[in-house]
Structures are given as C-alpha cells and as structure tokens.
Structure 1
Amino acid sequence: MGAAGSKLEKAFGDQFPEGERYFGLENFGNTGYCNCVLQALYFCVPFREQLLEYYANNKNIGDAEENLLTCLADLFSQISSQKKKTGVIAPKRFVQRLKKQSELFRSYMPQDAFEFLNFLLNELVDILEKEAQAAKSDPETSSPSDKAANGPKNVQANGPQKDPLVTWMHKNFQGILTNETKCLRCETVTARDETFFDLSLDIERNSSITSCLENFSSTKILNAKDKYFCDKCCSLQEAQKRMKIKKPPHILVIRLKRYKHIEQLGRYMKLSYWVVFPLELKLSNTMEDADSEYSLFAVVVHVGSGPNHGHYVSLVKSHNHWLFFDDENVEMIDESVVQTFFGSAQDSSNTDHGCILFYESLGNGNKS
C-alpha cells in the first residue's frame, strides 16, 4: 500500500492526526466480513482505548491463555504502535483464533458481518466476565485489568440478589430495553427489562432510521393466534405490546435487516431499500424519558446483489474526516459520499448498501 498510503498522507496534508494510524487489513480469502467490523471497532475510540489499556495490563502475564480478546488486543496494539502512519497489517493471529473458536467462520464461504460482530461482542463479554469472576474468587491472582472489569454495583429489580458484573464492554455497548405488555381486559401492565448490545431494525422502502426506530417501539396488538397469557386473568387475552429503550448504550449498534426470507423462492433475498441514516441521530420516540443524541462514526457496507455472495467494506469517521476501508486499501472520502450507501431507489443498479451502523453518544463528548 505504498502509493495508496502516501496518497492518504497527502490527503491529510499537515492536518494528519497526531498519534493516529490508518492501516488496511489483509484479506485471507473471504475475510472481508471480519476486516470491515475490525476497522469499525478500531475507530470506536472508547473501546479502543480500553482494549489497549487491557493489553498493557495483561501483556506480561506469561501463562495467560490465548483467546479472541487477547488476539484482538494484540492486533490493535500492533496497529497503534506502528512507526509508519499508513500501511497494511495481516490480522493472521486473530483470524486463526476466530476459526479455531467457531466452526461457523472456518469455511471460505462468504460470512455475514453482523453474525461475526454479534459473536465477537458476546465472546469478549464472556471472557471479561470469567476473568472478573476468577479474580473475585482468588484475589491473589487478580491483575490491574480486573479492577477495570468490575463496574459499579447494579441491583436488578425482581432478579437475583447477586450483583451482575459490569465490565468495560457492558459500559460501552450494553443498553436496556423495557418490554411492556398491557392486558386489554384487566388493563394490567407487565414490564420486563432485557439487555441488548445492538438493535436489529426491520426496514421499508424509502424510509429512515428514525422511522425504523419509531416502528420498532410502536404499539402492537396481540390477538388471534398471538394472544397474551395474562397472569391476573389466568387466560389468553388480547393485549398491547410496546418495546422502549430504558437505558441507551454509549455505543449504539444498529443492524438494518436487509435480508428477508421469501417462502415462494425458498431462499433469502437482499432488500436494497433506500434507508436514510443521519450523521446525527436523536432517540426521541423510542425513549422512556429524555432524548439521547448520537453521532455516526462507522458504517459497514455490503456490496453485492444477494446475501450469499458479495463483499464488505466500511466507512469510518476519524478526527472529522471520513475514510473508506476496503481490506488493504484505505482512502479519504468526502462526507457527502456517505449518503450514496443509503440504499437503492427503484430501478437503480446500485448494490452498495449500509447494513450496520455505529453511533457514539454525544452525552460524554464525541472523540471521533
């Protein structure tokens, strides 16, 4: 990436962000789904900083077992410590560990970027929780990172009395949804909280993220085959159901459900619908109380006409500049280019569609 790297440095000119690195990732044969997500996570600044802190606190532990967390931390450390400002890195150790960890990602068939992201986030949470549990049971072996793994106590109503572990992964990505159901006979309202690391939104033609979120939290009627069993009535009853965001996450990951199963065809079809995703997003109608404001900092894009083939790239915002990452290649783009990935208008041949969006809360200041 010599020529491409120098071209990127020229694009920044004397405004190249101090200490920042922009490295493409080598593709090992259909690993674009992995590369695009890794780039989005690398430029998720709070996540990157805490992962590098974890790496610094744990790199001297000789007998530490290799896992996806240590491999990812090692990769991010490699990138951030490069002497050159631009170039290409091969995430070989991470990809090998991923394939060893999950049979799903061993084949050379195209994989789904969201399935990989979902698997990775949950795996990182599991590792941190196990480390924190081990540290609690054996304080002598606790490392400095264990302190970062344990967050404030968070007692859940109607749950077990044991305080759930809150790691830095939870602090970054976890939100809380409230699932409210109201019996239309006795009008009893039942509320159940559930945690989430991403929101999966149904999409419609010529719509927006805002309208998708409104549809997500709109009131739905449960009747006919979907009647609700009311504990107070002790029988199946018609009911109203609504999902609301009780506690928004610091990093909001939105998945656009661009794949739909067509029964007549017996397969999945890609929905190329035009869905506007704004650079600044407000969670208004989906929140219980106040608005939350977010800023878009990364988009994972699927290139191709169908779900079983194609390629993934990512768009990333860093220090007020937008960059385009396509495996080994990295280039600067104008902010206006982002909207070309909203989707396709009818009769359009465009196959490049945003499918995973990463927003950072403006509540604590946006570092990107």
Structure 2
Amino acid sequence: MNDSGCIHLSNFKAAKGTNPYKIVHAFFVSCTSFEARRYKATSCLCFTCGQPGPRMHSCLHCIFFACYAGHIQDHSKSKKHFLYVDLSYGNIFCAQCQDYIYDRELTEIAMTHRLKEAKSLGINVPFTPWMPNNNEAMALRRLRKRRLISPHTTIGLRGLQNLGSTCFMNCIVQALIHTPLLRDYFLGEKHKCKAQGTGKCLVCEVSKLFQEFYSGAKTPLTLHRLLHLIWTHARHLAGYEQQDAHEFFIATLDVLHRHCMNGVDVTEKKENGRCNCIIDQIFTGGLQSDVVCTSCSGVSTTIDPFWDISLDVAGPGSLQACLERFTRAEHLGSGAKIKCSNCRAYRESTKQLTLETLPIVASFHLKRFEHSSQIDRKISAFISFPAELDMTPFMSSHRRAVDVGADNNNAPEGIFEDNRYSLFAVVNHLGSLDAGHYTAYVRQMKGSWFKCDDHMITRASLREVLDSEGYLLFYHKTVLEYDCDVS
C-alpha cells in the first residue's frame, strides 16, 4: 500500500470532496445500519457477471460495482475512472498508480464508520487512538480484526462446494483456514510475491481465500482455481477421482513452501540452514533417530525435518498410546544389521525415534488405510484423542532426562519447556476404502466447534468432536516461545 497518497486521489477530492467515499464506505464497506447491510446483501453484485465476488470493488466516480476478476479493470479502462474502493476493507485503488493509496482524511472517515458498525452490531470495540508515522491504516486493520474474532462471531466460517469428489480438498482447506498463525499471516498481508499477477502462485491464491473467508459473506465458495493450481504443481493428484486427504495436505504444504521461497529473498534462512518461510515456521519439527549398536553401545544420531507424524493404529486405542509405540526403542534384528562406525563391522542394533524439536502446529496422521499385496482395507478402530495434549514424554530431552535420572539441578536443556498443545481441527473419513467421504471439525473460538461437510456448516460439541473417527488431528501449541519469529 502506498502510504504517501497520490496526485490522482488529491485531484478527485479537490473536485468532488470526500462525500462519494463516505457514501460507498457507509453502505457497502462498514454497513453502519441494518438498512445498509440489507441493501449491500441485495445490491452489491458485479454489474458485468452478476456474481458477489471475488473481491468486489466500487467505482468512486460513478455507480458501478465489479469484481476484481478483471471486470473492475475493464470498467476503469473504458470509462477512464481510475479510482475504486475495495468493499472488503475500504482501501482505495488507483489504476494509474497501480497501488492501493493511503489517505489520512479518508482513513478517519473509515475509522468512524467502523466504530458505528461495531456499535450497531452490539460489539464493544476499544477505541484505538491515532498513531504517528502514518500508522492509521494499521490501526484500521487492527480494528477490523478485533471485530472479526469477537466472541460468538461466525465470520470466517464458509462452506465449500464439492466439485466432484473434492471433499478431501475441502476439509484440508478448512483446517488450514482455521490455523491461527496462518490466519494472522495472510490477513496481515505478509506475503510478498515476485510472480504477482501471473495467476500461478498458490500462496497468492490461499491469501485470497483467507480474504474471502473473513469478508463476512456466508455463501459457499468454489475452489476451482485452487484445485487447478494443485493439479498443476502436484500432478499425481490431478483428476476428479477421490484422493487421500493426508496426501493432499502434504502436497499442499510442499507447494506452498516452494512458492513461498519463490516470493521471498532466498537469503532469508535460519541459522541452522532451514527455510524461514511461514509453512516451515508453523508446521516443521525435528525428528531424532538414535541407532544404538548392541555390541559397543555406540550411538548414531540423525535429525530430519517433518511436517506431520504418521502413526500406526493397531493396538491400544488412544493417541498417546500410538505416540508411545512410535517413540519406543525397536530391535532391528539380524536381518537389518548396520555398519557400526566404532566396531567397523555390521552389527545388530536398536532404533528409537523421539521429537528433537516441536512444531507450532503438530499434525498427526492415523494410518487407517492398509495396503498390501494380499488386501486393501480401512481400519475403523476407535482411537481416542484429547482436547489438550502434552508432548513432553515424547521429546528427546525427556528421554535424555530419564536416562540420567535428572532433577532440577542436572536436567538436560529443554526438559522444562512448555510442550502443551490444544486441538483445533479434526479430519474424518466416513465409509469404506472404496466409497468414503471426508468431513472436518474446526474450532472457531475456544470452546466453539463446527462441522464442515462441504457446503454445509453446522455447530458441533466438543464431545461430538472427540467421539469422531479421527483421521488427521491438528494441535496448536498452547504457549509460544518468546523468540518464535512468525513474520
């Protein structure tokens, strides 16, 4: 956004004043009365295609609404009307400057309307004083965000049309949309894309999705552009047959990760050499593998990044039990000897997996689909999972502490960190391996759960969530470390 204004907006204000912006903002952006909200709902459609979006804009020179899919630009070129208003946020775009323009006087009008809107909705929004250094625009964004996440709001909840066996995509999108730090990142307009305008960047498309979800609209969205981009960049998922939601989740993170790296300075790395993109900051953890020689007790340690943890569901039926089996030492046997660097010979060994570092979002994949040469089947056994999860017992630091009998004086580094997580999304698979359907539960606010079944969104209880046949489980870290940099 251009914070210094532009000559074209200044000339417009000199000729027509601020009244055109006041009217557009009051009726079609903030909607300061019930009548304004009703009028917007019935009249705010694209004059070219008749659709309510995406990203509706209003011409500031005349009465003309159009979506940002090229129609507002066509109007601007044909009529020489170069200023138009984004009806989601009230920002003014100048087609001659090719940028959104900041103006202090119009921002004051917008802030006043936002406060009236909040009052008309019965929402108590603390007043944010004007700040120096042209930060009024940031104050306006924060005010809008406060309204969006106020208690009992349903903004951010939208159904998704099934495009033909695309429930696997819809449930993953719902989980990502309700990932708190992803929401803050995209609503904060943090993504800077070098390929802007090409229509090929998946991160740009996801950014638009967040804007659509939090625009306040209730009609179901159609994800044809997202699906096309995924097909383009993950060709093994192309086609209208039912896909695996877990495979789609990993493929989506991979494409987002790669596109994030295309949109930022490639020198932006963490000290350990890992990518510093938003995907890795939120989803990446470190999995430690310790291989111990049974002859000399020599240890070979490797640490690999992971985005999720796949867990076998055979045996005791709880997430904690699955994690205990996952991190239990395993004897590799005589058929899998390794060459010990100390013994300089092939020896039997044991292998143990632990979590060296934890991600902000811990994603668990319960392996319910079994494929073998003899049979393909779905495991429908009930696996209980908690609303609150402590990952400390599965940490590498915890295992080291147990090995040395640690107390407060000699505990390994990291043993007393807070490793608690809170459940915020669950993906379920209903039916059989050949004829199944995916749904999702998402947490909108603490204690407020909703079931997402393609275009249908219904309220759910926590008990209903915990009793469901979980397939993918998403937990968010309860306490974030001070030096966690999500920028």
Letter in 2 for 1:249: P
Counterpart of 2:28 in structure 1 is none
Secondary structure at 2:159 match in 1: strand
Counterpart of 1:340 in structure 2 is 467
Correspondence for 1:263 among 357, 370, 373: 373
Letter in 2 for 1:43: H
After superposition, the C-alpha distances for 1:287-341 in whole angstroms (9 at most, x for unaligned) are 12236110000000001122x3311000011112010000000000111111321
Larger Rg: 2
- Taking structure 2 as the reference length, what is the TM-score of the superposition? 0.61
What is the deviation of 1:278? 0.5
Q: State how far apart, in whole Å, the 1-side matches of 2:199 and 2:224 are.
A: 18
Give aligned pairs, total.
314
Correspondence for 1:28 among 163, 168, 172: 163
Q: State how far apart, in whole Å, the 2-side matches of 1:232 and 1:221 are.
A: 19
Counterpart of 2:188 in structure 1 is 53
Counterpart of 2:452 in structure 1 is 325
Correspondence for 1:287 among 395, 400, 422: 395
Mapped contact 2:387–2:466 kept (Cα < 8 A): no
C-alpha RMSD over aligned residues:
2.3
What is the deviation of 1:260? 1.2
After superposition, the C-alpha distances for 1:63-86 in whole angstroms (9 at most, x for unaligned) are 45522222111122122123x3x3
Counterpart of 1:126 in structure 2 is 258
Does residue 170 (structure 1) correspond to residue 249 (structure 2)? The answer is no
Q: State how far apart, in whole Å, the 2-side matches of 1:184 and 1:58 are.
A: 52
Within 5 A, what are the aligned runs for 1:1-368? Answer: 17-18=152-153, 20-54=155-189, 57-58=192-193, 63-64=197-198, 66-82=200-216, 84=217, 86-133=218-265, 136=267, 150=268, 153-155=270-272, 163-265=273-375, 268-289=376-397, 290=415, 292-306=419-433, 308-319=434-445, 320-341=447-468, 353-364=469-480
What is the deviation of 1:235? 1.8
Q: State how far apart, in whole Å, the 1-side matches of 2:192 and 2:215 are.
A: 16
What is the deviation of 1:261? 2.2
CA 1:62–1:46: 2 relative to 1, 3 Å: closer
Which residues of structure 2 form unaligned runs of 5+?
1-121, 124-149, 398-414, 482-487
Mapped contact 1:186–1:233 kept (Cα < 8 A): yes
Q: State how far apart, in whole Å, the 2-side matches of 1:17 and 1:154 are.
A: 42
Mapped contact 2:384–2:467 kept (Cα < 8 A): no
Secondary structure at 1:278 match in 2: coil
What is the deviation of 1:92? 1.9
Q: State how far apart, in whole Å, the 2-side matches of 1:222 and 1:66 are.
A: 46
What is the deviation of 1:263? 3.4
Q: Which has the higher contact order (CA 8 A, sep 6+)?
A: 1
Which residues of structure 1 form unaligned runs of 5+?
1-12, 137-149, 156-162, 342-352
Letter in 1 for 2:430: V
Secondary structure at 1:187 match in 2: coil
Secondary structure at 1:126 match in 2: helix
Mapped contact 1:55–1:74 kept (Cα < 8 A): no
Letter in 2 for 1:26: Q
Mapped contact 1:205–1:273 kept (Cα < 8 A): no
Q: State how far apart, in whole Å, the 2-side matches of 1:112 and 1:62 are.
A: 30
Mapped contact 2:308–2:364 kept (Cα < 8 A): yes
Letter in 2 for 1:324: K
Counterpart of 2:92 in structure 1 is none
Percent of pairs identical after alignment?
27
Q: State how far apart, in whole Å, the 1-side matches of 2:164 and 2:419 are.
A: 40
What is the deviation of 1:20? 2.8
Secondary structure at 2:459 match in 1: strand
CA 1:24–1:16: 2 relative to 1, 3 Å: farther
Q: Normalized per residue, which structure has more strand?
A: 1
Letter in 2 for 1:96: H
Mapped contact 2:293–2:348 kept (Cα < 8 A): yes
CA 1:98–1:46: 2 relative to 1, 3 Å: same
Secondary structure at 1:25 match in 2: coil
Letter in 1 for 2:391: L
Q: State how far apart, in whole Å, the 1-side matches of 2:304 and 2:334 are.
A: 26
Mapped contact 1:279–1:296 kept (Cα < 8 A): yes
Q: State how far apart, in whole Å, the 2-side matches of 1:185 and 1:57 are.
A: 54
Mapped contact 1:24–1:326 kept (Cα < 8 A): yes
Letter in 2 for 1:300: V
- Taking structure 1 as the reference length, what is the TM-score of the superposition? 0.80
Q: State how far apart, in whole Å, the 2-side matches of 1:318 and 1:64 are.
A: 33
Secondary structure at 1:123 match in 2: helix
Counterpart of 1:159 in structure 2 is none
Secondary structure at 2:200 match in 1: coil
